[in-house]
Every structure is written in C-alpha cells, then in structure tokens.
C-alpha cells in the first residue's frame, strides 16, 4: 500500500493507475477504522477497482458539541489495517492540503434534505461533509465511491450532490455504492464512536437496534411502529429523534410506500451520540 500525504503524491499515484487503464474505487473515512470501513474496501475490491482510502478528520463537519478534538485518531493502526486488507493507496492529508489558503472550493448545498433530522441537530454538519466529499472526489476522481448505510442521510445527500454536479456538467459519471451496516452480534451498528462508550454505556447502546426491530415488527401500522420502538428504547438513552421516514426524501410518513420506509434514530448514550436506522419493506 502506498501512503500519500499530499495532493501531489496522490496525483502521482493516480497517474500510474490511469496509465494502466484501471478504474478507481474510493472509500472516504475519518479514520478510527473498524470492520464496517473494511467491508466498504472489500466491496470496492470485489468490484475490481484500484482502491483509495482517505483518512481525514474534517473540521468543517463538527459543531461545538461534536468534539472535534476528542474524535479518535489512530492513523498508525488504520494504516496497518489497510495494508493487511490490501488497500492500494491510503490518502492521509493535512488540513492545509485539503483546504489550501486562498483556494476557492465548491460549497455544495445540502438543500431541503440537509435541513431535516441530522441537519437540525447538527447545524452546518452536512454543508461541511459535502464540501470535503466534493473536494476529495475532485482529487481522487473515482469511478465509484463507497458509503455505509448507517449514515443513510449522509449517503442520500452525497447521491443528491453527485446527481446535481453530473447534471451541471461539473463531474464525470461517478457511482455511489451504499453498503449494508455492519453490526456486532447484539445488533449494535459498528461505529468509530463506540470506542468512547464505557462497559455500562455499551450495554445501553446495545438495546437501540433491538428497539428498532421491536417497532418494525408492527409494520405496516406506522403509529404502532414508532410508539413501540420509542417504548423499547433504553431509558438511559436520550433521544434526539426516532421517526419513520421516506428513505429518499427523509419526509415523515403516515403510511409505508412501495419503496419502503426507514426507521431512523439518533440517541445520546452518556456523552456519545449514536445514529442507526432500519429499512422496513421496499
Ligand atoms: O462518514 C464519514 O466518516 C465522513 O462524514 C466522511 C464521509 C468521511 C466525510 O468526512
């Protein structure tokens, strides 16, 4: 695996790939890698791509409460995991490489979709996320990019941004591949934030997904789904939201459409904010 820390090093590595006529599969991450990230890499490898993984903790997508400073940074371990998993390039740039002083970068708008749920609770988060993803896409110019379904609203926003940029002639065709959430046997979705949970908090977090399942069992009665899932949530978890929404628009639903519905949740367990979702029908 080649480690690139600058835009110039990345461009040199990608020029060789281009000459060899290979396609590029890209996995953007903020590091603290776990098997969920590695499953995205495995999928890109199965799809036959030369693989580029980025590790960049993007300051623009953290709010005051979000704790940018405490976000886990484990670049040495990440590099070892990626080498063992057979990644081709690790792009681990500094903030100055991503946001060079004086360079005007695109600022994709999250639009209405970005106002809902995560957008309400984390103002500015999606604008910062789209800015860095767009910048990384410009630098890597991938044929396909891989995202996890746990961050379903993020994946929907990236898809919306790419559709708009392609339609405006600002970007080459690029496939966004959304991969299933990886879970521990308890059902807890793998997340870099889990490592900040104490044993007691982990026990609480492990009750979140079963609560979603308890709600989903009552489909298609939308009111029953939502109230049963809320009732089954552990009392120690502080809910930001738990709703049944359209999987594309994230509008709240009063019935389950043919393309299915997503039961989405964001909850604080201690000082850690966790999100998860479960697709019903579709
Ligand atoms: O999901 C993440 O880890 C981040 O939001 C992403 C897509 C790497 C952008 O910083």
Pair 232, 255: CB distance under 8 Å: no
Secondary element (H or E) of residue 213: helix 208-216
Residue 280 lies in a domain: no
Same domain, 92 and 173: yes
Nearest ligand 1 atom, CA 192: 3
Same domain, 149 and 91: yes
Tell me how crowded residue 112 is: count the other CB atoms within 10 A of its CB.
12
- Using alpha carbons, select from 87, 74, 77, 105 the residue that is nearest to residue 4: 87
3-state helix, strand, coil in the chain (%, to 5): 45, 20, 35
Strands lying side by side in the sheet with 261-269: 238-245, 261-269, 272-280
Please tell me whether residues 55 and 175 are part of one structural domain: yes
Q: Kindly state if the Cβ of 153 falls inside 6 Å of ligand 1.
A: no
Is there an atom of ligand 1 within 6 Å of 93 CB?
Answer: no
Distances (CA, A) of 175 to 171, 191, 260: 11, 24, 22
Predicted pLDDT at 92 = 98
Domain that holds residue 122: 2-179
CA distance 177 to 179: 6
Does residue 282 belong to any structural domain of this protein? no
Position 34 scores a pLDDT of: 97
Residue 43 forms part of a structural domain:
yes
Strands 50-55 and 89-91: parallel
91 and 230 both lie in a single domain: no
Looking at 158, 179, 200, which one is the last position of a domain? 179
Tokens 């886990």 -> residue: 72
β-bridge mates for residue 275, sequence order? 266
pLDDT at site 167? 98
The string of pLDDT tens digits covering residues 35-78 is: 999 999 999 999 999 999 999 999 999 987 667 988 899 999 99
Which of 113, 148, 179 marks a domain boundary?
A: 179
118 has pLDDT over 90:
yes
CA of 58 to the centre of ligand 1 (A): 8
The overall average pLDDT reported for the chain is 97
Whether residue 49 sits in one domain with residue 169: yes
CATH number of the domain where residue 229 is located: 3.30.1300.10
Give the model confidence (pLDDT) of 177-201 as tens digits: 999 999 999 999 999 999 999 999 9
186 part of a folded domain: no
> Do residues 239 and 267 touch, judged by C-beta distance below 8 A?
yes
Active site residue 34: no
What is the share, in percent, of the chain residues with pLDDT greater than 70?
Answer: 99
pLDDT tens string 120-170: 999 999 999 999 999 999 999 999 999 999 999 999 999 999 999 999 999
- Same domain? For 46 and 111 the reply is yes
For residue 43, what are its two tokens?
């999928």
Residues 202 and 112 in one domain: no
Helices (H), the chain: 7-19, 35-46, 75-85, 95-98, 118-121, 125-140, 152-167, 199-205, 208-216, 222-232
The answer to whether residue 28 is domain-embedded is yes
One domain for residues 171 and 214: no
Q: Report the pLDDT value the prediction gives residue 64, as an integer from 0 to 100.
A: 76
Distance from Cα 29 to the centre of ligand 1, integer Å: 5
Sign of CA dihedral 133, 139, 141, 147: negative
Sheet of strand 89-91: strand arrangement: 2-4, 89-91, 50-55, 24-29, 144-148, 175-179
> 153 and 225, same structural domain?
no
Q: Is the CB of 98 under 6 A from ligand 1?
A: no
Is residue 281 in a domain? no
Give me the CATH number covering residue 140.
Answer: 3.40.50.620
- The count of structural domains within the chain is 2
| CA distances for 158 relative to 124, 223, 278, angstroms | 15, 30, 19
Residue with the two structure tokens 């521990």: 184
Q: Ligand 1, atom 8: nearest CA belongs to which residue? A: 29
Q: Which helix (H) or strand (E) holds 144?
A: strand 144-148
Please check whether residue 209 lies inside any domain of the structure: yes
Residues 72 and 204 in one domain: no
**Which pLDDT tens digit goes with each residue over 215-269?**
999 999 999 999 999 999 999 999 999 999 999 999 999 999 999 999 999 999 9
Residue nearest to atom 6 of ligand 1 (CA): 29
| Same domain? 125 vs 235 | no
> Is the CB–ligand 1 distance for residue 178 below 6 Å?
no
Does 6 lie in the same domain as 62?
Answer: yes
């Amino acid at each position: 695996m080649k480690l690139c820390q600058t835009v110039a090093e990345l461009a040199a590595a990608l020029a060789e790939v281009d000459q060899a006529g290979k396609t590029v599969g890209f996995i953007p991450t903020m590091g603290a890698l776990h098997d969920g990230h590695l499953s995205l890499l495995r999928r890109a490898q199965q799809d036959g791509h030369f693989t580029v993984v980025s590790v960049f903790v993007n300051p623009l997508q953290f709010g005051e409460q979000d704790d940018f400073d405490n976000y886990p940074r484990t670049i040495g371990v990440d590099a070892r995991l990626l080498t063992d998993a057979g990644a081709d390039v690790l792009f681990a740039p500094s903030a100055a490489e991503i946001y060079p002083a004086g360079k005007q970068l695109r600022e994709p708008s999250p639009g209405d979709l970005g106002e809902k749920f995560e957008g309400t609770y984390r103002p500015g988060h999606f604008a910062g996320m789209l800015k860095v993803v767009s910048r990384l896409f410009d630098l890597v110019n991938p044929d396909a990019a891989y995202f996890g379904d746990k961050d379903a609203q993020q994946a929907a926003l990236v898809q919306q941004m790419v559709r708009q940029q392609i339609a405006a002639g600002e970007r080459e065709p690029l496939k966004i591949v959304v991969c299933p959430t990886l879970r521990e046997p308890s059902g807890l979705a793998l997340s870099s934030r889990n490592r900040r949970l104490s044993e007691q908090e982990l026990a609480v977090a492990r009750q979140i997904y079963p609560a979603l399942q308890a709600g989903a069992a009552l489909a298609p009665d939308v009111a029953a789904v939502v109230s049963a899932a809320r009732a089954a949530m552990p009392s120690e978890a502080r809910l930001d939201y738990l709703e049944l929404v359209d999987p594309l628009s994230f509008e709240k639903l009063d019935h389950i459409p043919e393309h299915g519905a997503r039961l989405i949740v964001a909850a604080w367990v201690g000082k850690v904010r966790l999100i998860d979702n479960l697709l019903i029908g579709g």
